[in-house]
Structure 1
Amino acid sequence: MQTTITTPSQRHSLWQRWGWLLWVLIIGIIYFWTINGLKFTGFQESASAVSKSILHGLVHPTWSYVYDGSGEDLVSLILQTLAIAFLGTIVSALISVPFAFWAARGPKEHYFLRSGSGKIVLTLIRTFPEIVLAIMFIKAVGPGSYAGVLAVSVHSVGMLGKLFGEAIENMDRGSEEAITSAGGRSSQVFALATIPTIMPEFLSYTLYRFEIAVRSASILGMVGAGGIGTPMIFAIQTRDWSKVGIILLGIVVMVLLIDSLSEQLRKRLI
């Protein structure tokens, strides 16, 4: 009579081979429970007709809106959206640098009081969504591009400050140590070692943030903060789906071009 003994390595091999079935079962149960909880009720009788109208407008955009020289056409408002995103990103990048050094933990910092307080401030800044900031600034300075720039700038400070701070914490400090050992002063270490080391990452993060700011600036106009979002919300409210279609097409093309250009620039920097 033979007795088969399963070794730990064999059990591990069986788990690697068939363990995925358990995960498939768990995910399937979660999906079934989620879908089963949805209530597909409340559709209006006109839902089908409205959906067809939206789809027809999106695939038949108003090409005459692309450019008509009025300053309120698609090209002009896309350029305004890019200007809001660009200016907001540049302003936030400059302001974020001192915040980053405040929040970055130094190699000789033991109690993290300075860096901890800086991280708390940056977290508080990031707490406010851009659209909420836009509404607040619209009340303060009035509707228009200026409110959009302020909203993008303030929110981006919280994000870029965090990313810049992490870049400072994780930087290679070999060049700093070399200049210090050669008798260099703190100002020389900062100018000749710290700045050249972290600048490529700073620029890369700024470009990445600009990509996000372009998308945000496209939405902020829907609450009156300037850019392409303003005519889009008006077109939606008046059910001018052909105009909505050309605006969405313009936003897609703009985002694709910005993403492609930014990716190429970041590859050259890093």
Structure 2
Amino acid sequence: MIDKKSIYARYSWLLWAGITLAVYLWAILGLDFSGIQESARKVTGSIFYGLFHPDLAYIYNGSGEDLVSLIVQTLAIAFLGTFVSAILSVPFAFWAARTEQNKHFHPRSTSGKLVLVFIRTFPEIVLAIMFIKAVGPGSFAGVLAVSIHSIGMLGKLFSEAIENMDRGADEALKAAGGRKADIWLLATFPTILPEFINYTLYRFEIAVRSASILGMVGAGGIGTPLLFAIQTRSWSRVGVILLGIIIMVTLIDWLSGNLRKRLV
């Protein structure tokens, strides 16, 4: 007698592969692709020309509007935004974290998770535009945008770290008669601190990329001169700015990766 369950288990991958292929075909056929425009080819070629013929005089000229100065400003926006959000995310994380007694549903943790989802709903560029209207254009608006959005992301990651932490040290101190403050300072905090730092470094990597873009809407950083250079078709200036962003992001990723490996 043929076992239908074993046949389904053996060939079920064909069914899922067919469904996946059908979804891809449906998505591709729904695209209105009319080919690569001639203007796109010219712009792409001009950008590559700028990458190989960068405006070296723009790297540093002491004006405060040069590449080095604006990259430092971009890093400052990302660092300050991440630093502020890492501190403010901690109470949100404990609010949203589920305990052992309330693993599935609890009004406190559920409401905390909903708040973090609401914060993450707004993209950083939308937050930057809102803060520019509130506090004016500049780096301050960029810091506010990065920090608010990062609260939603770090709060979620921190709460998951709290939920998945090893509670052996907590239980040992509790069994020895330790108070809640002792358990927090001597067991809980040292256990979750490496995870918190790890997630913060990872978030800083993302914030550097975000801060590079926020300048395009007037929130400070390297994005503003990049937008101006593209609009004025100053491709050598575009090339040197893109090279600066590439080097900055690569170095930050390398340094952050090494630091996170030391924490694991």
Same fold (TM over 0.5): yes
Within 1, Cα distance between the matches of 2:55 and 2:39?
24
Partner of 2:141: 147
* Deviation at residue 32 of structure 1 after TM alignment: 5.2
Pair 1:15–1:188, CA change in 2 (3 A)? same
| Structure 2 letter corresponding to 1:65 | Y
Per the alignment, residue 173 of structure 1 pairs with 167
Corresponding residue for residue 198 of structure 1: 192
Query: What are the within-5 Å matches in structure 2 for residues 5-16 of structure 1?
Result: none
What amino acid sits opposite 1:75 in the alignment? V
- Name the CA distance, whole Å, in 2 between partners of 1:194 and 1:14: 46
**What whole-Å deviation, never above 9, does each CA across 1:136-165 have from its counterpart, x for those lacking one?**
110111000000000001000011111111
Out of 230, 246, 255, which is 1:261 matched to? 255
Q: Are 2:153 and 1:159 aligned?
A: yes
- Structure 1 residue 34, shift from structure 2 partner: 4.6
1:241 aligns with 2:231: no
2:96 equivalent to 1:103: yes
Aligned to 2:181: 187
Question: Which residue matches 2:106?
Answer: 112
Amino acid corresponding to residue 68 of structure 2 in structure 1: V
For residues 264 and 95 of structure 1, what CA distance do their matches in structure 2 show? 25
CA gap of 1:214–1:37, structure 2 versus 1, over 3 A, is: same
| CA displacement 1:226-246 (0-9 Å, x = unmatched) | 000010111111111211111
Write the letter of the residue equivalent to 2:99: G
Number of aligned residue pairs: 263
**Aligned Cα RMSD in Å?**
2.5
Write the letter of the residue equivalent to 1:213.
A
Which among 226, 249, 259 is matched to residue 220 of structure 2? Answer: 226
Counterpart code for 1:120: L
Of 115, 122, 143, the residue aligned with 1:121 is 115
Task: Give the alignment's TM-score, normalised by structure 1.
Answer: 0.87
Higher Cα radius of gyration? 1
Deviates more, 1:185-194 or 1:50-59: 50-59
Distance 2:200 2:218 in 1: 26
Q: CA deviation at 1:67?
A: 1.1
Instruction: Give identity over the alignment, percent.
Output: 67
- Aligned counterpart, 1:82: 75
1:43, distance to aligned residue in structure 2 (A) = 6.1
- The runs of 5 or more residues in structure 1 that have no matched partner are none
Q: Distance in 2 between matches of 1:82 and 1:223?
A: 17
TM-score computed with the length of structure 2 as normaliser:
0.89
Q: How far is 1:11 from its partner?
A: 6.3
Aligned counterparts of 1:182 and 1:22: Cα–Cα separation in 2: 54
Task: Report the 3-state secondary structure (helix = DSSP H, G, I; strand = E; otherwise coil) of the residue aligned with 1:68.
Answer: coil
CA-CA distance at 1:55 after TM superposition: 2.9
